[in-house]
């Protein structure tokens, strides 16, 4: 198995104090991929960088991706507060290697 860690942040916002209420908290998802030639081709494309999405209202999200081992994946899952309802971003990254609002 291969594990990819997706970590959410909000680097741009238009809140009254210029801070996201989730600053400093861990919003992560770990996706598990079986070893296969299809996934072995896909994973390097996903790991190609950080993903940015502008909501068009002054807010923007960033999703950083890295590969982790099974032990790290377990710790990340235990400590994560979820993904704030933005799981669709991870799905889009896996499907399109970019964040799209389908």
pTM of the full predicted structure? 0.91
Residue with tokens 């290697």: 97
Give, for all 102 residues of the chain, the pLDDT tens digit: 999 999 999 988 877 887 788 788 999 999 999 989 888 889 999 997 799 999 988 899 999 999 999 999 999 999 999 999 999 999 999 999 999 987
Question: Strands 51-54 and 2-12, how do they pair?
Answer: unpaired
Contact between 66 and 5 under an 8 Å Cβ cutoff? The reply is yes
Residue ranges per structural domain of the chain? 2-96
């Amino acid at each position: 198995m291969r594990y990819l860690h997706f970590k959410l942040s909000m680097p741009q916002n238009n809140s009254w104090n210029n801070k996201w209420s989730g600053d400093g908290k861990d919003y992560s998802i770990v996706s598990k991929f079986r070893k296969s030639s299809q996934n072995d081709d896909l994973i390097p494309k996903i790991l190609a960088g950080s993903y940015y999405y502008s909501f068009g209202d002054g807010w923007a999200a960033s999703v950083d991706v890295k590969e982790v081992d099974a032990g790290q994946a377990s710790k990340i899952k235990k400590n994560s507060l979820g993904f704030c309802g933005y799981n669709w971003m991870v799905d889009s990254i896996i499907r399109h290697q970019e964040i799209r609002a389908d």
